[in-house]
Amino acid sequence: MINGHTQLTGLLGSPVSHSISPLMHNEAFRLLDLNYVYLCFDVGTKGLKTAIDGLKTLGARGFNCTMPDKNLMCELADRLSPATKLTGAVNTVVNDNGILTGHNTDGIGYIRSLADSGFSVTGKRMVLLGAGGAATAIAAQASLDGLKELSIFSRKSKFWDRAVHLADTLNSQTACHVSLYELSDVSSLRSRLAESDILTNATPVGMAPDTNHCLITDPSMLHPSLMVSDIIYNPRETLLLKTAKEAGCKTCNGLYMLLYQGAEAFKIWTGKDMPVKEIKKLYFQ
Ligand code: NAP
């Protein structure tokens, strides 16, 4: 029941109408009998500052940011969480009496989704494909959570300079040893994979509608003790995951990363644990 005490949360970005977040959060509020509502606002970077000032004035409890607003939001927040300082991208904001604190729950969501599959990054070696927004969040959180070695493979294009900076920052501010390689360096990719515990695809390669693509073109690069994870959730099984299964690897798709990044935001706003079991059954099968 919406009344005079209802607290406002929501999503800013463009586009946003396809998002599953309103279903997930509003159902979780209902299940826990919390007087909150979650709405979507189609706002790109051009209108972001005005929208943020408006939400602050209205006393909104908090909001998520998605593309293309994540980086600019980092500049507009009053305070930043440690992962956000490393990534330069915010996907969750909480408003405490007019002070906006920016968080990035994508990385935490990813780590929690791996935990569901019985995998912990602590002390492990990871090969990460991509250096965009999601890859950066995963790299930062995994390094903060005790990953031993991270090998990032990226095309030498728009995210390259940012990836060089990220690798330097993680090497100087965490105990993780981070190296950056060009994606076209197939022999390094092969040798890093041979020594790694987990391969993470954080590029859109393999996502619908282009489902016939995969960055691992030779399945012999994969070994059965490698966990292969793809943060894509449409389709549920990408060509990478199919190839990995055939090579005897354990696999994990991006569906629960989506769920858990939302659950972390929910906790930040309400102080309560999202009833993830029920939400999983309803929207994440
Ligand atoms: P992004 O910021 O645009 O980064 C994309 C990365 O992939 C960049 O490093 C880009 O490199 C690389 N890339 C793109 N096309 C490539 C190709 N053909 N070959 C090699 N590298 C390529 O996007 P993002 O927000 O990180 O999202 C990446 C993927 O993760 C998307 O599919 C998105 O849906 C998914 N995602 C899932 C979740 C979840 O909760 N499961 C959360 C966030 C994102 P260049 O610089 O060379 O283009």
List the CATH number of the domain containing 32: 3.40.50.10860
Write out the residue range of the structural domain in which residue 239 sits.
107-253
Mean pLDDT of the 215-231 span: 96
Determine if ligand 1 sits within 6 Å of the CB of residue 205: yes
Q: Which pLDDT score is estimated for 67?
A: 85
249 lies in the same domain as 117: yes
The candidate with the shortest Cα–Cα distance to 264, out of 82, 43, 87, 94, is: 94
3 Cα: distance to centroid of ligand 1 (angstroms): 40
Mean pLDDT of the chain: 95
Determine if ligand 1 sits within 6 Å of the CB of residue 207: yes
Pocket mutation for ligand 1, best pick of 189, 201, 203, 260 (most atoms within 8 Å of C-beta): 203
Position 82 pLDDT exceeds 90: no
Looking at residue 244, which CATH number applies to its domain? 3.40.50.720
Number of domains in the chain: 2
Determine if ligand 1 sits within 6 Å of the CB of residue 155: yes
d(CA 92, CA 62): 7
Mean pLDDT of the 250-273 span: 97
53 lies in the same domain as 129: no
Q: Where are the alpha helices (DSSP H) in the chain?
A: 21-31, 45-58, 70-76, 82-87, 106-116, 133-144, 160-173, 186-194, 239-246, 255-270, 276-283
115 lies in the same domain as 244: yes
226 lies in the same domain as 273: no
Instruction: Please tell me the residue having the least CA distance from ligand 1 atom 1.
Output: 132
54 lies in the same domain as 19: yes
1 located within any domain: no
The candidate with the shortest Cα–Cα distance to 138, out of 111, 116, 162, 119, is: 111
210 Cα: distance to centroid of ligand 1 (angstroms): 13
**pLDDT tens digits along 165-186:** 999 999 999 999 999 999 999 9
| Cβ atoms within 10 Å of 7's Cβ, excluding its own | 17
Give catalytic status of residue 70 as yes or no.
Answer: yes
The candidate with the shortest Cα–Cα distance to 245, out of 267, 210, 280, 214, is: 214
The candidate with the shortest Cα–Cα distance to 254, out of 274, 240, 266, is: 240
| Catalytic-labelled residue, pool 46, 49, 70, 156 | 70
46 lies in the same domain as 73: yes
pTM: 0.93
Instruction: Please tell me the residue having the least CA distance from ligand 1 atom 34.
Output: 232
236 lies in the same domain as 114: yes
pLDDT tier, 285 (very low <50, low <70, confident <90, very high otherwise): confident
25 located within any domain: yes
231 located within any domain: yes
2 located within any domain: no
276 located within any domain: yes
Query: For residue 145, what is the enclosing H or E element?
Result: none
pLDDT tier, 86 (very low <50, low <70, confident <90, very high otherwise): confident
Determine if ligand 1 sits within 6 Å of the CB of residue 217: no
